Amino acid sequence: MGRYVHLLLCLAVAGCSGSSKTDVCVPDQQRCSGNDVEKCHADGTDWTYYRSCAPPQVCDNGGCQAATPGCGDGTCAAGETCGTCPVDCGACCGNGACEPGQGETAQSCPADCATGDGAAPADGGPQNDTTPIPGCPPGSTQCSQDNFGMHHCGFDGAKYAFGKRIPCDIGETCAASVCSDSQCNSPEILVVLDRSSSMLKDGRWTWVSQGVLGWIQSHEMLVYFGYRAFPSQGCQVSSVIPPALSNMSTINAAVAPPTSTASTPLANALDGLAASFGDPDFSQAVVLITDGDETCSTASSPVQKASMLYGSGIRVYTIGVTTQANMGLLDQISQVGGTTKGTMVSDKTELDATLAAVLTDLNACASAGGMNCGQIVNCAKLCASPACLLSCQATGCPTAQAAAQQLLLCGFTSCSADCTFGGVTTACESCLKTSCPQPYAVCASNQC
């Protein structure tokens, strides 16, 4: 314990007996970060980007090597490893072996390298506060003491630990480390989209932006969508548009074509997002979409940022655009972000399916394309008045008022006045004007 406290003090202030710096690697040692080579600083205090391995070469054991013949045939054959052929053998991080030559440390791949017992990490680095505590694997959950909520294991800026309590929906309980989630949700989703210069290649920006905006437009009545783009300039990122209902027009106005900047600041893009979300809710998420790799910081930085989000109750999904995306890194981000693994997409069809899967995983009311009478909903987010809340909570449609509320849940265009259906006026936060159930005609003055 004394040695641990002494280390923290040395990190906090300049000047400790022996040295004012903490060694994390061997000077000039090289390691792999995806398909990039990183080199240890001359003073041994940090890693920095050194070079990228140009295809068909791959980074393996700290250097660029020729790809193994047969790589890509779907079989991890003799001579192929997670470093030389991740497409066949899987990502190195998560395979149960701590491999420093592949860039794995207690910080960058806690699943493989963290000891969880306060001892020195298996990769030979110093004892440090990024080692998870016992029973707290990054990306895991546990039920709260009252069993009406849960906690996420994430990085809190000093150590890996279970974060604040995230309540289950009213009347639901937590068991086996998850809330029962019998009600569909109106989730908060913040899309973090790469607009670096490489997104102009092969027309990928066109289908990616169309897919994202189409997804938002289809579900904006039931899903709280927000947006951040990166980079804005150099390694800087744009400001955040907080998640909100009916946010398509605001987000659409903010979606600008890619810049001439080649930087990909993944860590900066994930930084500071938690403040944009509302009260703790287990259906909050970030969706990171990129075709690249971290180029403005070390590979461990975006992993820690994602883990901090997850510790705050916010899941992190990753989508890699084409094979140029560093899926090894995105898998690590997803792992600590509570979503297990990233997804690579090569066209709009695959992107559409992946975005739809995100809504399904969040148990979003919009995931089935609309609401049916009898489906329970998370009314607290959708309604502003007691009358609306009561009709929303109806498990069926026994009244015209409840039926009118179901129209709202199915995503009709909002207007400013109350909506009347079947002779009953429903006072909700938005009403229905675009369409009416058969055999009624189009609404006129809110009357079907």
Residue 325 DSSP SS3:
coil
Q: Please give the DSSP secondary-structure letter assigned to residue 57.
A: E
Nearest Cα neighbor of 270 from 190, 160, 153, 362 is 190
Cα 113-119-124 angle, rounded to 5 deg: 50
pLDDT at 407: 44
Torsion sign, CA atoms 374, 379, 381, 384: positive
Residue 97 DSSP SS3:
coil
pLDDT at 94: 60
Which superfamily does CATH assign the domain made up of 188-368 to? von Willebrand factor, type A domain (3.40.50.410)
> The tokens of 165 are what?
């309590």
The 10s digit of each residue's pLDDT in 138-185 is 999 999 999 999 999 999 888 889 999 999 988 889 999 999 887 778
Going from the C-alpha of 408 to that of each of 253, 366, 371, 383, 393, the distances in angstroms are 25, 12, 9, 10, 13
pLDDT at 227: 98
pLDDT at 346: 96
pLDDT at 110: 57
Q: How far apart are CA 88 and CA 284, in angstroms?
A: 33
Q: How far apart are CA 161 and CA 146, in angstroms?
A: 19
pLDDT at 245: 86
The list of the chain residues with pLDDT below 50 reads 1-22, 115-130, 368-448
Counts for the chain of helices (H) and strands (E), in that order: 12, 19
Q: Which residues contact 52 (CB under 8 A, 6 or more apart)?
A: 35, 36, 37
pLDDT at 343: 97
Tell me the sheet residues that pair with 57: 66
pLDDT at 184: 77
Could you tell me if 130 and 106 are in contact, meaning their C-beta atoms sit under 8 angstroms apart? Answer: yes
> The tokens of 95 are what?
């395979």
The 10s digit of each residue's pLDDT in 416-444 is 344 444 444 444 333 333 333 333 333 33
pLDDT at 60: 78
Q: Which amino acid is at 181?
A: D
Domain boundaries defined on the chain: 23-113, 188-368, 372-448
Q: How many CB atoms lie within 10 A of CB 397?
A: 16
**DSSP state string for 265-320:** -HHHHHTT-GGGS-S--TTEEEEEEESS---SS-THHHHHHHHHHHHTTEEEEEEE
Q: Which residues contact 306 (CB under 8 A, 6 or more apart)?
A: 270, 286, 288, 316, 333, 334, 336, 337
pLDDT at 133: 54
Could you tell me if 228 and 273 are in contact, meaning their C-beta atoms sit under 8 angstroms apart? Answer: yes
Q: Which residues contact 16 (CB under 8 A, 6 or more apart)?
A: 6, 9, 10
